[in-house]
Copies of this chain bind each other. A is one copy, B any other.
Amino acid sequence: MNIYDLIEQLRADPDLAPKIRTTTHAKGSQIIKQGEVCGDVIFLRKGLAQMSYVTFEGKEWIKSFFAENAIMGARRCQILGEPSHFAITCLEDCEITAVPYDGLRKLAARAPDLMAIFFDFNEQVSMRKEKREYEFLCLSAQDRYQGFLEDYAHIVPRLTQAQIASFIGITPIALSRIRKRINQAESRGVVGAQ
């Protein structure tokens, strides 16, 4: 199910339709700011975005990337109405459609097929988070990096090393060292083509 069909389905509801807004955001701007409340479910039509925490010391740790056709939101705001612990920032110019969560939740209560879609969506998110927990618990930084290159191959070309490092939980310097190690291992291990 792509988000365009889903948004069409939401627009069909007369209560919800007037609350649905489509907007554009320039690269670098923030769709949700850390510490603010935003109860919207955000459908990313175009562009690339990240969710990230900024710590007291001013360091930024990226918790997720989102590309075209993704669904984002701050669960904490949606469910509890409390301020978001993280920000959503545009890494490229973005086009989004925002739908208030409570309206969506009410509609879903009346529309079992919609509830099922979000139920399945939650399951997908759960499984991604489970994998990420596994990687932090059991894998080294190098293993996490190599796993990232595979899993996110489609967006890797659009990211900087610093962004990738922040996502796997290390500094850009440490990532640079890891890349060096990998290159050295490869040049030692691989016999030249001729």
Contacts and interface: CB of A to CB of B under 8 A. Distances in A.
Contacts of A61: 137-138
Interface of A: 53, 55, 61, 63, 75-76, 79, 85-86, 109, 112, 115-116, 118-119, 122-123, 125-127, 129-130, 132-134, 136-138, 169
A172 to B, nearest CB: 15
Interchain residue pairs A-B with the least CB separation, the first 5: A129-B129, A61-B137, A136-B136, A122-B122, A55-B138
The A contact surface, by secondary structure, is: helix
Contacts of A137: 53, 61, 63, 136, 169
A118 B79 CA distance: 14
B63 A134 contact: yes
